Amino acid sequence: MTDLQRTATSGFENAFGSEPHGLWTAPGRVNIIGEHTDYNDGFVFPMAIDRRTVAAVRRRDDDRIRVSSSFSPEIVEVSVRALDPDALHGWSAYPLGVAWALGQFGAPLQEVPGVDIYIDSDVPVGAGLSSSAAIEASVAVALTEIWHLDHDRRTLAKICQLAENRAVGAPTGIMDQSASLLGQRDCGVFLDCRSLETDVIPLGFEEHDLELLVIDTRVEHAHVSGGYAARRASCEAGAAALGADSLRDVTVGDLDRARELLDDETFRRVRHVVTENQRVLDTVRTLREHGPTSIGELLVASHASMRDDFEISVPELDLAVETSMAAGAIGSRMTGGGFGGAAIALVPVALASSVSEAVTAAFAEASFTAPTIFPVRPAAGATRES
Ligand code: ADP
Ligand code: MG
C-alpha cells in the first residue's frame, strides 16, 4: 500500500467509523501538446501523471450517500434517490455530481445501495493538473463497480464531464477526464475532440530516462475568463469568414488565403489553432517514428505560437521556457489555458535538478515569485487498487 492509500484508509475510518470495501484511484494529467484546440473540434495530447486521487468507498445497506475528504472535515450526506445537480455545492459537487451523472446514463438510482466515500489526493489543486478530473474519475470507477454498471472508459469520461459541466457548473471539455480514465503507464492519450476517438500512444520516457518538469509560475490566471472568451470568439469569427464549420476544417495549406481574408489579429489566432492541430499530429507521428527525444522542437514551436499568435503567455512562462531550454531541456512550453499557470519541460532525469535550479535562479534574478517545480511521469489511468 502507498502512503496515500494508507492515509485514505485511515481518513475513511476516522470519518465513518468502519473500513472501506475498496480503494479506487485516478490520476491528474498534464497536456503535452494541443492548446486551445479542443473547442475548435481539434486534437489534444495529454498524459495521466503519477499524482493520484483515492476514493475509499464502502457500500451501505440504505439509500444514503455520504462524502468526506482530506480537503475539509465536513461530511455531506444526501439520499441517492434525491440527487439534484442544482442542489450541489463546493467540493462535494464533484463526487455527488458523478453519482447523479451515472443516473443520467442509466444507473437505476432508485434501487442502487448508498455508499460512504472518502477522498484523499496528492494531485495539487489549481496547479493546472486537473485535480477535478482525478476526483471525478476515481469516484466514477468506484461506483461503476459497486453498482454493477457496465460503462466503457470513454462513456465514463462523458459521465465525468457531465458532472463537471452540470453539477459543478464548469464548462470544461472532455480532455481531462479522458486522460484520467484512459491513460496508461508511459503513454499519452491522443484525443480527437470532434469524433471523441482516442488512441493511447507509447511515450518511451522510461526507456530514454525522461520526465516532465511542471514549472508552476504561481501567476494567477488574471483576465482568464475575458481572454478566453475573446479567443473563442476570434476562432469562431475566423472559421466563419473562411466558410468552415470550425477551425478543425482549416489546414496549414489554407493559411495564405486566410491571411488575405482576415484582419491581422484574427489571422494570428487562426494560425495558432491550425498549426497547433498539425503539431499534435506531428508529435504523435514523431513519437512513433523517432521517439521522445525528437519532439522538443514541436513543444517549443507550440510555445512560440501561444506567445506570439494567440498571445496568452506571460513573462514568467516565457522565462520558464527559455531558461529550461538553455539548461538542457529537450522541449518546453506553457501548458493549460494561459495567462498564468504552469509550463512543462521535457528533461533527461539526470538534468532535472539542474534545470529546476536554473529556472528558480532566473525567476529570482527577474524578481518574479519563486516557482514551484516538480517532476511528473506518465502513469496509469483510473483503477481499483485494493
Ligand atoms: P484543477 O485545475 O486542479 O482541476 P479545479 O478548479 O478544476 O482545479 O478543481 C479543483 C476543485 O476540485 C477544488 O476546489 C475542490 O472543490 C475539488 N477537489 C480537488 N481535489 C479534491 C480533494 N482531494 N478533496 C476534495 N475536493 C477536491
Ligand atoms: Mg479542473
pLDDT tens-place string over residues 29-47:
999 999 999 999 999 999 9
For ligand 1, atom 10, name the residue with the nearest CA: 132
- Between CA 159 and CA 252 the distance in angstroms is 34
* Helix-then-strand count for the chain, H and E: 12, 12
Residue 172, pLDDT > 90, answer: no
Residues 111 and 226 in one domain: no
Minimal-distance CA residue to ligand 1 atom 7: 132
- Within the chain, residue ranges assigned H as helices are 3-16, 93-104, 131-146, 153-162, 175-182, 205-208, 224-241, 255-261, 264-290, 296-308, 315-326, 352-365
DSSP helix/strand/coil, 350: helix
Catalytic residue numbers?
A: 176
User: Is residue 53 lining ligand 1, measured as CB closer than 6 Å?
Assistant: yes
Coil vs helix vs strand at 205: helix
- What pLDDT score does 159 carry? 98
Helix (H, G, I), strand (E, B) or coil at 293: helix
pLDDT for res 88: 97
Q: With 90 as the cut, is the pLDDT of residue 78 above it?
A: yes
| CA pair distance 268, 111, nearest whole angstrom | 54
Q: How many domains does the chain have?
A: 2
Instruction: Give the global pTM.
Output: 0.96
Q: Is the CB–ligand 1 distance for residue 45 below 6 Å?
A: no
Q: Is the CB of 25 under 6 A from ligand 1?
A: no
Percent of the chain with pLDDT over 90: 94
Say if residue 246 is in the same domain as residue 342.
yes
Instruction: From 72, 91, 131, give the residue whose CB has the most ligand 1 atoms within 8 Å, as the site to mutate.
Output: 131
Mean pLDDT of 319-340: 96
Same domain, 214 and 326: yes
- Structural domain of residue 358, as residue ranges? 208-376
Ligand nearest 216 Cα, by number? 1
What ipTM does the predicted assembly reach?
0.96
Q: What pLDDT band is residue 81 in, cutting at 50, 70 and 90?
A: very high
Pair 227, 161 in one domain: no
In this structure, of 18-22, 48-52, 226-230, 318-322, the range with the lowest mean pLDDT score is 226-230
Q: Are residues 164 and 247 in the same domain?
A: no
**Pair (233, 194) in one structural domain:** no
Looking at residue 224, its pLDDT comes to: 72
Specify whether 267 is located in the same domain as 177.
no
Residues 162 and 212 in one domain: no
* Same domain flag for 140 and 232: no
Distance in angstroms (rounded) separating the CA atoms of residues 141 and 125: 21
- The whole-number average pLDDT for the span 88-93 is 96
Average pLDDT over residues 358-385: 98
Using a 6 Å cutoff on CB, does residue 169 contact ligand 1? no
User: Ligand 1 centre from 242 Cα, in Å?
Assistant: 39
146 and 223: one domain?
A: no
User: What are 9's three cell numbers?
Assistant: 484508509
The closest of 226, 184, 216 to 312, measured between CA atoms, is: 226
Task: Report pLDDT digits (tens) over 146-160.
Answer: 999 999 999 999 999
Cα(241) to centroid of ligand 2, in Å? 32
Residue pLDDT, tens place only, 94-140: 999 999 999 999 999 999 999 999 999 999 987 889 999 999 999 99
Nearest ligand (C-alpha, residue 221): 1
Q: Which residue has the higher pLDDT, 221 or 38?
A: 38
User: What is the band of 220 on the pLDDT scale with cuts at 50, 70, 90?
Assistant: confident
Q: What is the Cα gyration radius of the chain?
A: 21
pLDDT at position 223 over 80: no
Q: Does 234 share its domain with 145?
A: no
The mean of the pLDDT values for the chain is 97
CA of 121 to the centre of ligand 1 (A): 10
Looking at the structure, do residues 312 and 246 belong to the same domain, yes or no? yes
User: Could you tell me the pLDDT band of residue 326, with boundaries at 50, 70 and 90?
Assistant: very high
What average pLDDT score do residues 216-237 get? Answer: 88
CATH (domain of 272): 3.30.70.890
The minimum-distance atom of ligand 1 relative to the CA of 128 is 2
- Say yes or no to pLDDT of 369 above 90: yes
Give the mutation target among 94, 120, 216 for probing the ligand 1 site: most ligand atoms within 8 A of CB: 94
Instruction: CATH number of the domain at 145, please.
Output: 3.30.230.10
- What pLDDT is stored for residue 214 in this prediction? 98
